[in-house]
Amino acid sequence: MTDAEGIPELPADLDAVRGALVDWYEADHRDFPWRRTEDPYEVLVSEVMSQQTQLDRVVPAWEDFLDEWPTTAALAAADRADVVAFWSDHSLGYNNRAKYLQEAAGQVEDDYEGAFPQDPEGLRELMGVGPYTANAVASFAFNNGDAVVDTNVKRVLYRAFDAPDDDDAFERIASALMPAGESRVWNNAVMELGGVACGKKPRCDEAGCPWREWCHAYQTGDFTAPDVPEQPSFEGSRRQFRGRIVRLLGEHEEMELDALGHRIRVDYAPDGDHGREWLRGLVDDLADDGLVEADASGDGVVVSLRR
């Protein structure tokens, strides 16, 4: 059965659906350290680091980062080059996230007197914080968020309740399911379900999925999932070489352009397809992001991390 807008009807006893999931989550779940804190800064760092990075790899990076910069005040006062170098050394992807995170910390200190906004709308005012991250921080730090809808949640709703592959439909179903005032435990629980029991390869019985009795996929055996755009290959990408540049500049105070080129790829040739013009494009991109500086020096260009 569907409603007038084609959204499938949810089970009549939503309290039973909600209770089953929360009980399953609270009985046993992955013990990531950021799930043990309600500090919005610590939650924000975990959310930014987790973007397109496996959670097991995020744990040591998150712990090291907070050891180095335990508060927004400490991060805001840090040397930008040190923050970017840390990000690159820990292979956390897109180094401009480190820059935005530091700028967000500065905003919290300068514009909010050291206290984070507590709702998704306010959190979106912070540099680099989009709708998903704002809602996650509002949920996990302040229990004041809306239903989180990420790739894992979409897969759960698509399979369990025969949801159409449509963002508006996912948002409506997710919102209807979440119990009022329970965004912290609910969003953790539904994402855990997608990560542990309802992954690309479902583990319904092995993981004791709490929604089996209501699940359309479990009843029909149709475990297809919504279409998800493929992530572009990292190997050989501009993102990979941008990361190599930042890592090298973290090890060396400055480098001449050609010396940098020979260090980041073995087939670098100044006048070749991947030569000075290609490399200068990467450097200019990083400069536009506020990560590096390129200064003319004699007949060449010298590149350094921006401090």
Claim to verify: residue 193 and residue 240 sit in the same structural domain? no
User: Which CA distances in Å does 175 have to 118, 145, 243, 287?
Assistant: 19, 11, 38, 41
Last residue of a domain, one of 188, 218, 248: 218
Q: What is the CATH number of the domain that holds 128?
A: 1.10.340.30
- Count Cβ atoms within 10 A of the Cβ of residue 91 and give its class: 0-12 exposed, 13-18 middle, 19 or more buried: exposed
Q: Of 157-166, 182-191, 199-208, 276-285, which gets the smallest average pLDDT?
A: 276-285
Last residue of a domain, one of 107, 124, 140: 140
Last residue of a domain, one of 105, 123, 140: 140
Whether residue 5 is contained in a domain is answered as: no
Identify the band that residue 235 occupies on the pLDDT scale cut at 50, 70 and 90: low
Q: What is the pLDDT of residue 104?
A: 97
Whether residue 7 is contained in a domain is answered as: no
Residues spanned by the domain of 198:
12-27+145-218
Residue spans of alpha helices (H) in 164-234: 167-177, 183-192, 216-220
Mean pLDDT across the stretch 271-299? 82
Q: Amino acid identity of 119?
A: D
Q: Convert the pLDDT of each residue in 96-120 to its tens digit.
A: 899 999 999 999 999 999 999 999 9
Angle between helical axes of 80-89 and 55-68 (0-180°, round to 10)? 150
pLDDT at 4 over 50: no
pTM: 0.78
Q: Enumerate the active-site residues.
A: 47
Three-state DSSP at 303 gives: strand
More confident position, 54 or 193? 193
Q: Of 137-146, 213-222, 253-262, which gets the smallest average pLDDT?
A: 253-262
Q: Convert the pLDDT of each residue in 37-84 to its tens digit.
A: 999 999 999 999 998 788 888 999 999 999 999 999 999 999 998 999
Q: What is the pLDDT of residue 165?
A: 92
What's the number of domains the chain is made of?
3
Claim to verify: residue 204 and residue 243 sit in the same structural domain? no
Q: What is the CATH number of the domain that holds 182?
A: 1.10.1670.10
Whether residue 70 is contained in a domain is answered as: yes
Judge whether 45 and 101 are in contact, CB under 8 Å. Answer: yes
Claim to verify: residue 152 and residue 86 sit in the same structural domain? no
Claim to verify: residue 44 and residue 135 sit in the same structural domain? yes
